[in-house]
């Protein structure tokens, strides 16, 4: 028995959306089974160091932040334990001259690592107290989605 042409056209027109839906459902199922679906950002901070100040007005802190979660996040602020301020900054070079530009947030992608350095992103620390190499200084890193993470930075000599 042969179907009428109008029925064949209707069935043909319905197959494309059904195939697309089945493909999308298969992809979502694989994503869920891989453990990535709904996995929140999970920042882990290591390599926390604070440069021994050579200037009483400012120094820099650096952190290595690995996001082991399945969602992107962003570092949105840092708090230091003393009256001075801690601000996120990025080194910018124009026409051979370097300068610091304050930034509101720094992305920490899912499964990625943010490694702070003097030539990239760092934390500018204003008016640090008198410090010695080896001192331990607590900081609080605030993330957009994950919330605060407490970490202790070790005071190191510049260049180490």
Tell whether 28 and 57 lie within a shared domain. Answer: no
Query: What SS3 state is found at 83?
Result: coil
Same domain, 32 and 57: no
**Structural domain of 47:** 43-156
pLDDT of residue 9: 75
81: confidence class by pLDDT, cuts 50, 70, 90: confident
Q: Do 72 and 29 share a structural domain?
A: no
Helix (H) or strand (E) holding 3: none
Same domain, 73 and 124: yes
Task: Tell whether 14 and 88 lie within a shared domain.
Answer: no
pLDDT in tens, 131-159: 999 999 999 999 999 999 999 999 999 98
Looking at the fold, whether 77 and 30 belong to one and the same domain comes out as: no
**Between 25 and 111, the higher pLDDT residue:** 111
127, 75: one domain: yes
pLDDT confidence of residue 35? 58
* Whether 72 and 147 share a structural domain: yes
**DSSP helix/strand/coil, 47:** strand
Q: pTM, whole model, 2 decimals?
A: 0.73
Q: Which string of DSSP letters, residue by residue, matches 89-157?
A: EEEEEETTEEEEEE-S-EEE-TT-EEE--TTSEEEEEES-----TT-EEEEEEEETTTEEEEEEEEEE-
Residue 78: pLDDT over 80 = yes
| 59 and 32 inside one domain | no
Mean pLDDT of 29-58: 82
Please list, in sequence order, all residues whose beta carbon lies within 8 angstroms of the beta carbon of residue 17, skipping any fewer than 6 positions away: none
Do both 51 and 33 map to the same domain? Answer: no
Q: What does pLDDT average to over the chain?
A: 86
Measured distance CA(128)–CA(58) in Å, rounded: 6
146/15: higher pLDDT: 146
pLDDT of residue 48 exceeding 70: yes
- 103 and 48 belong to one structural domain: yes
What is the average pLDDT across 92-121?
Answer: 87
Residues 102 and 126 in one domain: yes
Confidence of residue 2 (pLDDT cuts 50, 70, 90): confident
Q: 63 versus 25: which is more confidently predicted?
A: 63
Coil vs helix vs strand at 18: helix
- Structural domain total, the chain: 2
With a cut of 60, say whether residue 36 has pLDDT above it: no
């Amino acid at each position: 028995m042969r179907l009428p042409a109008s029925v064949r056209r209707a069935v043909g027109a319905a197959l494309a959306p059904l195939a697309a839906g089945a493909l999308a459902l298969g992809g979502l199922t694989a994503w869920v089974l891989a453990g990535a679906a709904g996995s929140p950002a999970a920042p882990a901070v290591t390599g926390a160091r604070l440069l021994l100040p050579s200037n009483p007005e400012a120094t820099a802190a650096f952190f290595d932040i690995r996001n082991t979660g399945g969602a992107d996040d962003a570092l949105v602020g840092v708090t230091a334990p003393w009256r001075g301020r801690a601000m996120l900054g990025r080194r910018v070079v124009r026409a051979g001259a370097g300068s610091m530009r304050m930034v509101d947030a720094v992305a920490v992608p899912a499964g990625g690592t943010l490694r702070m350095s003097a030539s990239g992103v760092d934390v500018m620390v204003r008016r640090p107290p008198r410090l010695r190499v080896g001192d331990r200084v607590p900081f609080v890193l605030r993330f957009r989605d994950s919330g605060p993470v407490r970490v202790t930075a070790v005071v190191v000599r510049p260049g180490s």
